Amino acid sequence: MRYSGLKVITEGLFGNKGWGPAWRSPEPKAEYDAIIIGGGGHGLSTAYYLAKNHGLTNIAVLEKGYLGSGNIGRNTTIVRANYFLPGNSEFYSHSLKLWEGLEGELNYNVMHSQRGLINLFHSDGQRDAFVRRGNMMISQGDDAILLDRDGVREHLPYLDFEQTRFPIYGGLLHPRGGTARHDAVAWGYARGADRRGVDLIQNCEVTGIDIENGRVRGVQTTRGAIRAKKVGIIVAGRSGQVAAMAGMRLPVESHILQAFVSEGLKPVIHHVISFGMGHFYISQSDKGGLVFGGDLDFYASYAARGNLPMVEHVMEAGMTLMPMIGRAKVLRSWGGIMDMTPDGSPIIDKTHIDGLFIDCGWNYGGFKAVPASGWCMAHLMATGESHAVARRFRLDRFATGHLLDEEGTGSQHNLH
Amino acid sequence: MRITCPLCGERDRREFYYYGADDYLRRPGEGAAPAAWDAYLHLRDNPAGVTRDLWYHDMGCAAWLLVERNTVTHEVLSVRLASEAEEGAA
């Protein structure tokens, strides 16, 4: 069924009886050409592009809970292409271009809103770093505008320009940056994959990976064994456990990242704003809630909830930057399980086991990468070769020293 | 989360700096293969459940601690001085 304005009106006139489920709930078959472990954003987009770009439709996505029940359903929904390093820059640029055509592509309203993203800076050194970053973004073909203090004031008059601890020197505006509706991205890709014949199998937890003579043969699940010659592990925070089923240890440590949503307010914050000095970022959802967060709690955790010191820190940073939000009530908070790599960049690569691929290490930035990650992982699984824009996301780069340390803080598990 | 330092007693999590998994106690010997260094520095079991990791009592006695805790519940099971953990066997 194709969604359209006309369809909405017709259904409204005739009692909304013509809507069907957005995807099937098939029983798992005994064998597929390829299996994707993980029905989150990256897994679903991989399945979609395997079917769409490579004609592989005899594939299954295995999800232990319900589709989109992980980080794709709990994140701060920021979409941007403001990366600096070769390797990251072209990848996120590709992703943003896919975002810009996504709603037409999927025939699904993902509410992609290019409202502009402003990274503030608070010192000469930080300004110089953002000038360099902006130049890299422009040379990649994306957009960046350097704002001085008055330029920031024009966009964001409500910031505290008087405070002296972290004076606002200016900001880097990325006009094509913005937000999207997170769940809708998962649902749109799920529906698109299903329509091309992909089996989306929920409540099906993978409990083992079958390997014979260095080749993958299939997986064991809570709904029986399923054979496949190609298996992709795309399980974000749970990468360590699933890789262990194949006898692998990954350069990944799962950490906790908290985020918060206020009660719904009238439109007050138009942009996505980041405040590097306090590690605070904020935007306002279309429902009106202020969506904001900060840094990791900085210890390995699967608790899906954080500790109070980081809550306090995020609130303090927000109040330092924009005291006007002080009267807003926090409605809810949550903690996501982040698959952190030592250098803070992701992995899309083969493993040493034939037919077994892995897409992980998205740290705290996986949402904006959903389209390109699926695009590149599908390319890798279908052709056996890394896609040109993801060729540096190597699994062995920590051993070989070809790091992608975007922050420049070092390659160590507790630094990103 | 509160951590009981063997020297200072029970303290707020804010006093401690997290370093990482106890793999850091198993430093490869001189002349070890590059793969051993990769495993030591980067590769992790990353367990969902009981783990052992190193914390530094930054705002307390400056001791390095070996903390046994549950990554799913944040329960701290035991804390001892890293200097008392036998190197290589921790």
Residue B70 lies in a domain: yes
pLDDT at B66: 97
Q: Residue B77 pLDDT more than 50?
A: yes
Q: What percent of chain A has pLDDT over 90?
A: 96
Q: What is the mean pLDDT of residues A316-345?
A: 96
Question: Between the CA atoms of A104, A109, A115 and A120, what dihedral angle is there, to the nearest 10 degrees?
Answer: -110
The Cα–Cα gap between A120 and A364 comes to 19
Residue B14 lies in a domain: yes
The Cα–Cα gap between A272 and A285 comes to 10
CB–CB contact A254 B45 (8 Å): no
Residue B9 lies in a domain: yes
pLDDT at A164: 85
Q: What is the mean pLDDT of residues A69-75?
A: 95
Residue B57 lies in a domain: yes
Instruction: Compute φ and ψ for B54, nearest 5 degrees.
Output: -100, 130
Of B18, B34, B38, the CB nearest to A299: B18
Per-residue H/E/C for B21-53:
EHHHHCCCCCCCCHHHHHHHHCCECCCCCEEEE
DSSP category for residue A146: E
Task: Write the DSSP assignment of A89-134 as a string of letters.
Answer: HHHHHHHHHHHHTHHHHHTS----B---EEEEE-SHHHHHHHHHHH
Q: What is the ipTM of this complex?
A: 0.94
Residue of B nearest to A241 (CA): B47
Distance of CA B17 to the CA centre of its chain: 10
Q: Residue B88 pLDDT more than 80?
A: no
CA distances for A358 relative to A229, A253, A287, B8, B89, angstroms: 14, 15, 35, 44, 31
CB–CB contact B46 A342 (8 Å): no
Q: Residue B87 pLDDT more than 90?
A: no
Give me the CATH number covering residue B13: 3.30.2270.10
pLDDT classification of A278: cutoffs 50, 70, 90: confident
Residue B89 lies in a domain: no
Long-range CB contacts for residues B33-38, cutoff 8 Å, separation at least 24:
B34/A399, B35/A399, B38/A398, B38/A399
pLDDT at B85: 83
Q: What is the mean pLDDT of residues A263-285?
A: 95
Instruction: For helices A182-195 and A370-383, give the axis angle rounded to 10 degrees.
Output: 30
pLDDT classification of A416: cutoffs 50, 70, 90: confident
Residue B31 lies in a domain: no
Q: Which domain holds residue B11?
A: 2-26+36-84
Residue B54 lies in a domain: yes
Angle at A278 between CA A272 and CA A282, to 5 degrees: 20
pLDDT 10s digits, A175-222: 999 999 999 999 999 999 999 999 999 999 999 999 999 999 999 999
Residue of A nearest to B48 (CA): A302
In chain A, the domains with their CATH numbers are 5-77+182-251+343-400 (3.50.50.60), 114-178+253-340 (3.30.9.10)
Q: In terms of DSSP bridges, do strands A272-275 and A280-284 run parallel, antiparallel, or are they unpaired?
A: antiparallel
A334 touches chain B (CB under 8 A): no
The chain-wide mean pLDDT, for chain A, equals 96
Selected for mutation to probe chain A from B19, B46, B65 (highest A CB count within 10 Å) is B46
Of B20, B39, B48, the CB nearest to A302: B48
Distance of CA A193 to the CA centre of its chain: 19
A399 touches chain B (CB under 8 A): yes
pLDDT 10s digits, A346-392: 999 999 999 999 999 999 999 999 999 999 999 999 999 999 999 99
pLDDT classification of A312: cutoffs 50, 70, 90: very high
Residue of A nearest to B20 (CA): A414
The Cα–Cα gap between B32 and B52 comes to 24
Q: Residue A97 pLDDT more than 70?
A: yes
In B, which residues are within 8 Å of A303 by CB distance?
Answer: 71-74
pLDDT at A284: 98
Residue B90 lies in a domain: no
pLDDT at A76: 96
Q: In terms of DSSP bridges, do strands A280-284 and B17-21 run parallel, antiparallel, or are they unpaired?
A: unpaired
Amino acid at residue number A90: E
For residue A230, the cross-strand partners are A34
Structure tokens at A236: 């974000």
In B, which residues are within 8 Å of A410 by CB distance?
Answer: none
- Let me know: does A52 contact A342? Beta carbons within 8 Å: no
Of A240, A300, A399, the CB nearest to B38: A399
Of B18, B34, B43, the CB nearest to A414: B18
* A72: three-class secondary structure by DSSP: helix
- Let me know: does A145 contact A172? Beta carbons within 8 Å: yes
CA distance B83 to chain A (A): 21
Q: Residue B90 pLDDT more than 50?
A: no
Of B34, B51, B73, the CB nearest to A300: B51
Residue of A nearest to B42 (CA): A251
Nearest to A102 by CA among A90, A85, A114: A114
Q: Provide the domain count of chain B.
A: 1
Q: What is the mean pLDDT of residues A324-339?
A: 95
A363: left (phi over 0), alpha (psi -120 to 50) or beta: left
